[in-house]
Structure 1
Amino acid sequence: MAWYAYCLTEKQSFPELLRHRKPVPLESVSGIAGNQVFLYPASDLAVIVSEHSSEESLNQKAAVDHARVIADCFKSSTILPFRFGTVFQDDEALRRSIRTNQRQFLTNIDRLRGKAEMHLKVTLDDCCREQIRAVAMDTVGKEYLANLRENATRQRERQTKARAVSVQMHRMFTPLAEEISCRRTESGKMLLDIAHLIEHKGIERYQNKYSSASTLMKDCQMQISGPWPPYHFVHRLTRGAHHPQAAGTAISA
Structure 2
Amino acid sequence: MTDDLRYVYAVCRPLDAPLHADLTGVGGAPPRQLAHDGLVAVVGPVPERDFGREQLHARLEDLDWLAATARAHQSVVAALATVTCPLPLRLGTVFRDDSGVRAMLQDESDRLRRILDRIDGQVEWGVKVWLGAESVAEAAAPQPSGAPESGRDYLRRRRAGNAAREQSAARAEAFARQLHEDLSRYAADARLHPPQSGPLTDAGSGRNVLNSAYLVPRARSEEFLELVGRAEGTLPGLQVEVTGPWAAYSFTDDPEAS
TM-score normalised by structure 1 residue count: 0.69
Higher strand share: 1
Q: Which residue of 1 aligns with 2:118?
A: 111
**What is the root-mean-square deviation in Å for CA atoms of aligned residues?**
2.9
Deviation at 1:166, TM superposition (A): 3.9
Match status 1:73 vs 2:80: yes
The gaps in structure 1 that reach 5 residues or longer are: 17-24, 130-156, 237-253
- One of 186, 206, 224 as aligned partner of 2:224: 206
Q: 1:178 aligns with which of 175, 186, 190?
A: 190
Counterpart of 1:4 in structure 2 is 7
- Give the AA of the match of 1:221: Q
- Work out whether 1:216 is the aligned partner of 2:218: no
Question: Structure 2 matches for 1:180-199, cutoff 5 A?
Answer: 180-183=192-195, 185=197, 187=205, 189-199=207-217
Task: Render the CA deviation track for 1:197-243: whole Å, top value 9, x for unaligned.
Answer: 1111122222211110113344521111111111001117xxxxxxx
8 Å CA contact retained: 1:176, 1:198: yes
Measure the CA separation in 2 of the matches of 1:90 and 1:83.
18
Q: Which of 154, 167, 170 is the equivalent residue of 2:177?
A: 167
Structure 2: which amino acid aligns with 1:7? Answer: A
Distance 2:123 2:17 in 1: 23
CA deviations on 1:67-115 (whole Å, 9 max, x unpaired) are 0100001100111001001101122221111111111111111111110
Does residue 1:40 correspond to 2:34, yes or no?
yes
Equivalent position amino acid for 1:93 in 2: G
Q: Secondary structure at the match of 2:78?
A: helix
Flag the 1:165–1:41 CA change in 2: closer, same or farther, 3 A.
Answer: same
The one-letter amino acid of 1:32's match is V
TM-score, with length taken from structure 2: 0.68
Which region of structure 1 is more displaced relative to structure 2, 72-81 or 212-221? 212-221
Paired letter, 1:230? A
Q: In 2, distance between residues paired with 1:188 and 1:208?
A: 24
CA contact (8 A) 2:172 2:238 kept: no
Larger Rg: 2
CA distance in 1, matches of 2:132, 2:176: 15
Distance 1:162 1:93 in 2: 49
Query: Any unmatched runs of 5+ in structure 2?
Result: 51-58, 60-64, 138-166, 199-204
Structure 2 counterpart SS, 1:183 = coil
Q: One-letter code of the match for 2:30?
A: Q
